[in-house]
Structure 1
Amino acid sequence: MMDPDFTATSIARRVRAGTLTPVDAVDDALARIAARDPRLGAFVAVRGEQARAEAAAVSARPDLASLPLAGVPIAVKDNVPVAGHRLGNGSMASSAEPSEADHPVVARLRAAGAVVVGLTAVPELCVWAATDTPDAVTRNPWNPGITSGGSSGGSAVAVASGMVPAAHGADGMGSIRIPAAACGVFGIKPGRGVVPAELGVDSWFGMSENGPIATTVADAALLLSVMADRPDLADIEDPGRLRIAVSVRSPLPGVRVDPHWRAAAERAAAALGALGHHVATAPLPYPANPVPLLSRWTAGTAADAAGLDRALLQRRTRGHIAAGKVMRRWVNPAQVESVDRVLRRFFTDHDVVITPTLASVPIAAERWSDRSWLANLVANIRYAPFPSLWNFAGWPAASVPLGIHPETGTPLGVQIAAPPGGEARILAVAAQLESLLPWPRVAAV
């Protein structure tokens, strides 16, 4: 059942007011994890007594009454350092040594009063759009037979099943927006430089960003404001009358868009048009050549894997790395500049664009780690071709839940993107959709 008080904003407000203690908030989250996670596999580590001790320390802070995330239990994706814990990154090849210090984003969340209750599952090296390892499959709380998405699949499941009110995610090829859409929660990838990245060697040549996943736009805005050290982002304001483009065509020839995912984007556009925005169909100018994007994805993974024991890596990942070593020669900053120029011309006539987040129902929840690189590549591209443009360009984009697929009972979602600096505008439009077309905040698990 949905608990209206189990949101980051509500928990922090009650802790600041003295009507809820951080320890009680953390105990509640830990109890939810113990009851629900065995069926879903969202967490790779639960911090139990450590989280309780840290919650008690938050209670004793002299600035408790001013902390934006006072006592809020959160989950952190297992691809950034958390002091005292092994950084697994979904791989047996990762070092067993615990991290000595928190990632800057984790440090900011803790400084704001949040308590890390656990680390969430990712596919190996965060490469894939389904979250599984040879040992476990992270399952969608709406339909356990369907993937949670990836690579922030564990974080999305932890939020969508009501185990934590909000979580950290990271997005290199749609890795926040894909699982957010699959699991029916809100997730936003900020634009380049808004939040400290420091993901892997070079954040996949600048394509990867840290961001929040939450059940409400207000919660995501609050986390993003802390991650970015931008308190203003927590205040969602009326965006005024916007010029909204809607583009439902597939980014890739031969990839079909499910009519229900297409209809979700059209329904969102119609609702915003009825609110007074100017809405127009305007096909996005997707790049015709996929090589610049694929070369960054594969070569970025190859850079992250340098020094790892190849024998301990999964077969699909070895294939990805091999491709990256060949394709590294085609990574050129001028490619991003060219796409940026084309997109800026498109946005001279539009303020934001709405697309489907996914092209079809997410793929099956199974051990994709046992399958070939090509099988993973094709499956990922067919169902999730929409998000990666915004990683390549370094522009902000979010996924907003919008309805339920009538055939699978899993959520539908729409993507909102805007030019650099458009995070506040995206949040404002998402909040309007949340008000106009509210979604069920958590799955019934």
Structure 2
Amino acid sequence: MSPGGTSPDDASPDSPSPDDAHDPAAAGDPGETAVQIAARVGSGVCPPDAAVARTLRRIDARDHELGAFRRVRAEEALREARGLADRADLARLPLAGVPVAVKDVLAVTGESVRFGSAATSAAPEAADHALVARLRAAGAVIVGLTAVPELCIFPTTDSSFGITRNPWDRSRTPGGSSGGSGAAVSAGMVPVAHGTDGLGSIRIPSADCGLFGIKPGRHLLPGDGGADSWYGMSESGPMATTVADAALMLSVLAGDPGLAHPEPAAGLRIGVSAGTPSPVTRLASSLADALEQVADTLLRAGHQVARARVPYPRNPLGLLARWTRGPAGQARTLDRRMLAPRTRTHTAIGDAVERWGLVKDSYAQRIEQDMRALFADFDIVATPTLLRTAPAAARWSDRRWLPNAVSSIRYASYPGIWNVLGWPAASVPAGVHPGDGMPIGVQLAGPPGSEATILALAAEIESLRPWPRTAPDYAGGVRH
């Protein structure tokens, strides 16, 4: 068995399509983007099952050392791709034949949703989640479910199903909680993947894996706002190697075709802030330097760039209370004796938080008031995504809660405030660390409704500062 819980036989696709013999991407070149796949499949140049078969071969060859997938849907994906070829509207489908990985938190018909936990039910789902249904309606093929830490609590990805490793350095974590999705895209196994972000869980692995990932603002996508969404803090979003691919996927998830092609944003007022969210945290100098380099690029491109001070709350307890309350709500239906010790502690704290009424609307309202004052002067604010590069890939789930919590705060404190607000934020690749060679991300955040502006600015950064399409060990190279 692979670290992700899928044997090589499970992931092996059928024999290659005859189309493969004439297709430059047939050898497994991860340079084929979602936009390119959809164009080729929609025009009839490439059958949908050929695109999916190539993806499954890459998963079969690479995931045994990364553990990105908890479950690979090899037979099901090929069958669904062949059925897709019969659709009369194939040429009009925005994701025609595009292989997509879905984080193991959304219902996929016939699959179980495990949330990285042996305490969850292995019973198959009877229907697709609304977002999965939108992906399928757009022509996407769900090739697998990606690994997450238990209940998606911590920013490293390991669980009873195994340890997920970073394609840039397999001794490091790909981040979390959407770490499996990040590893799958960064290793060129799939062009795009779904993630969820309740306290940075799209942006953290995007930064750790050299990807672009965006958390949309609250209410852009369908959701129930219950415990599984961490009471309004968590949103689904795309992770991709290009901004265009992420924009395309987000447009499908949001049901808004205009997001796929955001208008270029000229002369933006950009606030740059390297201040840390807490006095107990320290930003690594190389990550601060990367932010400065991006700021210089944007200034030369004609944007108005100035220093900003993000009004992080002085008391972090309101944020920490929300972090514990969400998973505690999810755990109410589970046998907590089956949870990892750190998860039991975390959810017990969340129960106490709810009993004592520590999650107060006034906390978020004060932050929003301060943020709106900041954004009176700026259109977008740029910060580091993380305080340091990715920690070790290890069995963090076997360690006590306090070391996990302290490590999380010292590593990934920047993203959470945007979840409390429910405002959009993204992580954009910003180079590599000169010492350890790991990717660095810069976070772009904006007020409600600024998803298109963030996408346009990220695309401009991508054009001015191209980044590697995949991790160095998995081919690719810099896109020019």
Equivalent of 1:52 in 61, 67, 78: 78
Q: Residue 399 in 1 paired to residue 427 in 2?
A: yes
Separation (CA, whole Å) in 2 of partners of 1:430 and 1:227: 19
AA at the equivalent of 1:49: E
Q: Residue 109 in 1 paired to residue 135 in 2?
A: yes
Q: Residue 270 in 1 paired to residue 296 in 2?
A: yes
Q: Residue 308 in 1 paired to residue 330 in 2?
A: no
Gapped runs of 5+ residues in structure 1?
none
Separation (CA, whole Å) in 1 of partners of 2:218 and 2:208: 24
Q: Residue 212 in 1 paired to residue 238 in 2?
A: yes
Separation (CA, whole Å) in 2 of partners of 1:207 and 1:5: 34
TM-score (norm 1): 0.98
Separation (CA, whole Å) in 1 of partners of 2:40 and 2:225: 34
Report the counterpart of residue 362 of structure 2 in structure 1.
Answer: 334
Separation (CA, whole Å) in 2 of partners of 1:116 and 1:135: 20
Q: Residue 367 in 1 paired to residue 399 in 2?
A: no
AA at the equivalent of 1:289: N
AA at the equivalent of 1:256: R
What is the deviation of 1:334?
Answer: 2.2
AA at the equivalent of 2:79: A
Alignment of 1:292-303 (within 5 A): 292-303=318-329
Separation (CA, whole Å) in 1 of partners of 2:78 and 2:128: 18
Separation (CA, whole Å) in 2 of partners of 1:371 and 1:202: 24
Contact 2:159–2:395 at 8 Å: present in 1 too? yes
Report the counterpart of residue 72 of structure 1 in structure 2.
Answer: 98
Contact 2:207–2:429 at 8 Å: present in 1 too? yes
Report the counterpart of residue 164 of structure 2 in structure 1.
Answer: 138
Contact 1:225–1:234 at 8 Å: present in 2 too? yes
What is the deviation of 1:3?
Answer: 3.6
Report the counterpart of residue 422 of structure 1 in structure 2.
Answer: 450
Q: Residue 387 in 1 paired to residue 419 in 2?
A: no
Deviations along 1:109-130, one digit per CA (max 9) or x if unpaired, are 0000000000000000010100
Report the counterpart of residue 21 of structure 2 in structure 1.
Answer: none
Contact 2:345–2:401 at 8 Å: present in 1 too? yes
Helix, strand or coil: the match of 1:125? helix
Q: Residue 354 in 1 paired to residue 418 in 2?
A: no
What is the deviation of 1:362?
Answer: 1.5
Size of the aligned set, in residue pairs, is 445
Contact 2:102–2:181 at 8 Å: present in 1 too? yes
AA at the equivalent of 1:40: L
Equivalent of 1:18 in 36, 40, 44: 44
Contact 1:196–1:209 at 8 Å: present in 2 too? no
What is the deviation of 1:199?
Answer: 7.0
Report the counterpart of residue 114 of structure 2 in structure 1.
Answer: 88
Report the counterpart of residue 195 of structure 1 in structure 2.
Answer: 221
Separation (CA, whole Å) in 2 of partners of 1:340 and 1:141: 37
Gapped runs of 5+ residues in structure 2?
1-26, 475-480
Query: Do the aligned partners of residues 2 and 346 (structure 1) sit closer, same or farther apart at CA in structure 2, a change above 3 Å counting?
Result: farther
Moved more, 291-300 or 199-208: 199-208
What is the deviation of 1:62?
Answer: 0.8
Helix, strand or coil: the match of 1:100? coil
What is the deviation of 1:59?
Answer: 0.7
Q: Residue 281 in 1 paired to residue 307 in 2?
A: yes
Please report the RMSD computed on the Cα atoms of aligned residues, expressed in angstroms: 1.2
Report the counterpart of residue 470 of structure 2 in structure 1.
Answer: 442
Identity among equivalent positions (%) equals 56
Contact 1:77–1:122 at 8 Å: present in 2 too? yes
Helix, strand or coil: the match of 1:330? coil
Separation (CA, whole Å) in 2 of partners of 1:4 and 1:54: 22
Equivalent of 2:177 in 142, 151, 172: 151
Separation (CA, whole Å) in 2 of partners of 1:31 and 1:436: 33
AA at the equivalent of 1:91: S
Separation (CA, whole Å) in 1 of partners of 2:336 and 2:384: 37
Separation (CA, whole Å) in 1 of partners of 2:156 and 2:344: 17
Separation (CA, whole Å) in 2 of partners of 1:214 and 1:170: 13
Contact 2:117–2:160 at 8 Å: present in 1 too? no
What is the deviation of 1:201?
Answer: 2.4
Moved more, 119-128 or 236-245: 236-245
Contact 1:189–1:210 at 8 Å: present in 2 too? yes
Helix, strand or coil: the match of 2:159? coil
Separation (CA, whole Å) in 2 of partners of 1:5 and 1:40: 20
Contact 1:5–1:11 at 8 Å: present in 2 too? no
What is the deviation of 1:198?
Answer: 3.7
AA at the equivalent of 1:19: V
